[in-house]
Structure 1
Amino acid sequence: MRTARKGSVEMPAFVRQLVKETEKRVSSFFKGGRGGAAEGEQPGKGEKEEVIPSPYLDRPVLDKLMEEGCARWGLTYALGSMQGWRANMEDFHNCVPQLGGELADWSFFAVFDGHAGSMVAQHCSQHLLGHILATGGMGPEDDPEKVKGAIIEGFLQTDKHLHSVARREGWERGGTTVVATLISPYYIYFINCGDSRAMLCRSGQVCFSTEDHKPYSPLEKERIESAGGSVSFQRINGSLAVSRALGDFSYKGAENRTPSQQMVSPEPEVCVVERSPADEFLVLACDGVWDTISNEELCAFIHNRLRVCTDLRDVCSQVIDLCLYKGSLDNISIILLCFPGAPQLSAEALHQEAELEDLLESKVAEIYNELCARGEEPDLLSVLTVLASTAIPGLPPGGGIQSKRNCIISAYYQQRETHKPTVPNGLGGS
């Protein structure tokens, strides 16, 4: 496990202000709908205006949690997770490369993206797998229908158990999405409950990805409305942005309806894909990744990075940085699973990478010197702006110029050091 050092990224002031104003207006609107002071009205006599803390920080938390490991059947994996711009870290994970006993050649991995607090996500990360295994539906015969049934039953049991814990601990408002995979010797089981996502890359292309569970999706919307809810602003009752999750019990109170028929369903969607020697890698990630990059872009980027990086933690770190630089304001978590058929280190790719970094360093020096010659202050933003409008051949597919921003920043500070004024002898003080 390792932690990367902190950086110095700041949210532009106008973006920060826009986010805060938007939150304030949306919050006021819905408080007005529930009998509170509507937008533009003043609190009544004796009332105090509620101050809602922003869910965003003025500076992101850039420390990264990194893990890596392997399974005896040839799988290697890494996890990368970062708090980012969010005021709190609400992502959790579970990495079990080898299940025990007769399931020793099975693996389980999951990302839990919490909302309205972190406790539900943390609790589920510790107990979900146990509930799935307790169903007894998994065994050496590897029957897809039995395994699917065990997974779904495990989720429902987890939610049922969580309900009693939530009432005792006061977690009723909290919830978590889950994206997971169960890998057997013959199949890959994709498990999705919410808007995190899993993606499989096979032969260099996206072979499969899960579907996000959003309230405005036709089937999800139909269930929500049948349970007495509504969808406005693409959210359940104008508030919750996901339609399936563990927890969120304030949306699960419709009478005479099963748990899977509530406004928020705890039932996962389970898809089965037969394994192939052409399988390269599988990604599990929260929406902090998918909000900024498409399936195809991420597949291409990771495929390219695996040809120049042997450390999977470094690949995960580069994905996190890419999402941050592309504007993700959420917690960012990714698990990268590599099969025996994953791309390998390439001498040609390493040579091209070295040439690209040399080119970027020379471009930064050129821009820096041009700005100096014009009497302008060559600050980092100015250099990045000019470079972004310059045609740069050989950038990583799916990543573009943002994926090499750390290299550019390093080259910029090298130029600053080079252009630092020298102090004549005898004038430098004691």
Structure 2
Amino acid sequence: MGAFLDKPQTEKQSSNGAGNGLRFAVSTMQGWRVDMEDAHVTLPCLSGIMKAWSFFAVFDGHAGPRASKYCASHLLTQIISVPPFSSSRSRQELRSGELSSEAVVRGIQRGFLQVDADLREALTDGGKSSTWMDHSGTTAVTLLVSPRHLYFVNCGDSRAVLYRDGEPYLVTEDHKPNNPQERQRIESAGSSVLIHRVNGALAVSRALGDFDYKNVDGKAPTEQPVSPEPEVYALERSPADDFAILACDGIWDVMSNEELGAFVHTRLQSLSSLESICEQLLDTCLQKGSRDNMTALLICFSNPEVSLPDVPGCKEADTDGET
């Protein structure tokens, strides 16, 4: 969505940091779009009893930046404010990373639904208005890292890929309207899929925001034409974990999972700067014809498991959102 410039804005905003045995870098470019609608979060160390956990996210906004900025600021807060994260019985399990993966998955799903409900209220002036003050929406692709597990989460058509031994090991599924399961939900809610878009307009079938597509009476939030329900992938950490990429479709539209993995793997052998790798990736995607905003977040794994007494200091935690 969105209009295009006569020439691309190629200035990049980049940052990097480390913590909990991880190194990361992120770079963003407005590109050909009139507005920059992406947002991101890089938190290598959470606080309190979750200081051995890390959180990273990329949000690809559309129809304006409000939804992406809001979710960048509030999604993690909502996730850790619901059970099991908020339960006193889970405190020791959170500290050690031994909380069951099934419980974490349920908490992540609840957090997504809650931040979507909160965003709806924010866009209607606390429920005082009967019309939307803003029509924006956003995809969300996130990675929550515990001492023992990786939780990749996707809602929309941004994508995360985990690479092990230099090859794609886990790839999140893009939520597109023409996917059979997504189409079935859309049509069951009384909408249609035209030219691979919801009602011929929206190119994603799951998103946060986009409340013009979430007003069907008698349908739960996850049954609406556009659903805020995330897909969560939980797996145990492994010494074979090399790196993960979280990126918006401005990257994946022009590079395959394998091509991007080879691009990063080759440069990791010769470049010490993860920022430089991310910036080169954006330049390459622009040259390959990407016309969208671009955000690429690279996380490198050096330790398969983090024990609390050995948690190193964190630096450069960043949230690119609004309060």
The answer to whether TM tops 0.5 is yes
* 1:296 partner amino acid: E
Matched, 1:229 2:191: yes
Q: Which residue of 2 aligns with 1:353?
A: none
Q: Which residue of 2 aligns with 1:282?
A: 244
Residue in structure 2 matching 1:339, options 294, 301, 314:
301
Q: Which residue of 1 aligns with 2:6?
A: 58
Asked if 1 retains the 8 angstrom alpha-carbon contact of 2:22 and 2:303, the reply is no
Asked if 2 retains the 8 angstrom alpha-carbon contact of 1:172 and 1:247, the reply is no
Matches within 5 A, 1:297-316: 297-316=259-278
Question: Taking CA–CA contacts closer than 8 Å with sequence separation of 6 or more, which of the two structures ends up with the larger relative contact order?
Answer: 2
Inter-partner Cα distance in structure 2 for 1:155 and 1:200: 22
Inter-partner Cα distance in structure 1 for 2:216 and 2:295: 33
Inter-partner Cα distance in structure 1 for 2:33 and 2:133: 20
Residue in structure 2 matching 1:271, options 233, 245, 255:
233
Inter-partner Cα distance in structure 1 for 2:84 and 2:277: 35
Q: What's the CA shift for 1:274?
A: 1.1
Inter-partner Cα distance in structure 1 for 2:105 and 2:99: 10
Q: What's the CA shift for 1:308?
A: 1.1
Asked if 2 retains the 8 angstrom alpha-carbon contact of 1:191 and 1:268, the reply is yes
- Superposed CA deviations along residues 205-256 of structure 1, whole A, max 9, x for unmatched, are 1111100000000000000000010000000000000000000001001111
Q: Which residue of 2 aligns with 1:326?
A: 288
Matched, 1:120 2:67: yes
Inter-partner Cα distance in structure 1 for 2:14 and 2:185: 39
Inter-partner Cα distance in structure 2 for 1:154 and 1:341: 28
- Superposed CA deviations along residues 67-106 of structure 1, whole A, max 9, x for unmatched, are 10001x3100000000000010000001111011111111
Q: 1:100 to 1:136 in 2, by over 3 A?
A: farther
Q: Which residue of 2 aligns with 1:102?
A: 49
Q: Which residue of 2 aligns with 1:16?
A: none
Number of residue pairs the alignment of both structures matches: 289
Inter-partner Cα distance in structure 2 for 1:309 and 1:148: 35
Q: 1:274 to 1:146 in 2, by over 3 A?
A: same
Query: What secondary structure does 1:334 align onto?
Result: strand
Query: What secondary structure does 1:189 align onto?
Result: strand
Q: Percent identity?
A: 50
- Give ranges in structure 1 of 5+ residues lacking alignment: 1-22, 24-53, 343-430
- Give ranges in structure 2 of 5+ residues lacking alignment: 86-93, 127-131, 305-323
Inter-partner Cα distance in structure 2 for 1:143 and 1:156: 21
Asked if 2 retains the 8 angstrom alpha-carbon contact of 1:189 and 1:273, the reply is yes
Q: CA RMSD in A?
A: 1.4
Query: What secondary structure does 1:142 align onto?
Result: coil
Matches within 5 A, 1:17-32: none
Q: What's the CA shift for 1:142?
A: 2.3
Matches within 5 A, 1:19-418: 55-71=3-19, 73-138=20-85, 139-140=94-95, 141-168=98-125, 170-340=132-302
Inter-partner Cα distance in structure 2 for 1:277 and 1:102: 25
Query: What secondary structure does 2:163 align onto?
Result: strand
Answer 1 or 2: which has greater helix percent.
Answer: 1
- Superposed CA deviations along residues 173-231 of structure 1, whole A, max 9, x for unmatched, are 21000000001111100100000000001011111110000000000000000001000
Inter-partner Cα distance in structure 2 for 1:259 and 1:227: 11
Asked if 1 retains the 8 angstrom alpha-carbon contact of 2:23 and 2:299, the reply is yes
Q: Which residue of 2 aligns with 1:397?
A: none
Inter-partner Cα distance in structure 1 for 2:150 and 2:45: 14
Inter-partner Cα distance in structure 1 for 2:134 and 2:178: 24
Inter-partner Cα distance in structure 1 for 2:117 and 2:303: 40
Q: 1:241 to 1:329 in 2, by over 3 A?
A: same
TM-score by length of 1: 0.66
Query: What secondary structure does 1:120 align onto?
Result: helix
Asked if 2 retains the 8 angstrom alpha-carbon contact of 1:172 and 1:248, the reply is no
Inter-partner Cα distance in structure 2 for 1:285 and 1:220: 22
* 2:299 partner amino acid: L
Inter-partner Cα distance in structure 1 for 2:277 and 2:16: 11
Which has the higher Rg, Structure 1 or Structure 2?
1
Asked if 2 retains the 8 angstrom alpha-carbon contact of 1:172 and 1:249, the reply is no
* 1:162 partner amino acid: L
Q: What's the CA shift for 1:167?
A: 1.3
Q: What's the CA shift for 1:341?
A: 6.7
- Superposed CA deviations along residues 315-373 of structure 1, whole A, max 9, x for unmatched, are 0001101100000000000100001179xxxxxxxxxxxxxxxxxxxxxxxxxxxxxxx
Q: Which residue of 1 aligns with 2:318?
A: none
Inter-partner Cα distance in structure 2 for 1:276 and 1:128: 27
Inter-partner Cα distance in structure 1 for 2:83 and 2:302: 29
Query: What secondary structure does 1:168 align onto?
Result: coil
Q: 1:193 to 1:61 in 2, by over 3 A?
A: same
Asked if 1 retains the 8 angstrom alpha-carbon contact of 2:21 and 2:303, the reply is no
Asked if 2 retains the 8 angstrom alpha-carbon contact of 1:196 and 1:286, the reply is yes
Inter-partner Cα distance in structure 2 for 1:108 and 1:171: 30
Inter-partner Cα distance in structure 1 for 2:121 and 2:297: 30
